[in-house]
Amino acid sequence: MTPDRLLELILAVLTSREVIVVTVAIALYVNVVNYIVHYRKRPPAPRKKRRAAPAPAAASAEGEPEITEDEGK
Residue range 5-57, pLDDT digits in tens: 999 999 999 999 999 999 999 999 999 999 998 887 677 788 888 877 777 77
* Confidence category of residue 66, pLDDT binned at 50, 70, 90: low
Residue 24 is part of which domain span? 17-42
Domain count, the chain: 1
> How high is the pLDDT of residue 63?
59
Q: How far apart are CA 37 and CA 30, in angstroms?
A: 11
pTM attached to this predicted model? 0.49
What is the C-alpha to C-alpha distance for residues 10 and 56, in angstroms, rounded to an integer? 79
User: In this structure, is residue 32 part of a structural domain?
Assistant: yes
H-state helical runs in the chain: 3-14, 17-38, 69-72
Cβ atoms 65, 59 nearer than 8 A: yes
Q: Is residue 61 part of a domain?
A: no
Q: Are 29 and 22 in contact (CB under 8 A)?
A: no
Q: What is the pLDDT of residue 71?
A: 59
Q: Is residue 27 domain-resident?
A: yes
**Residue 66 included in any domain:** no
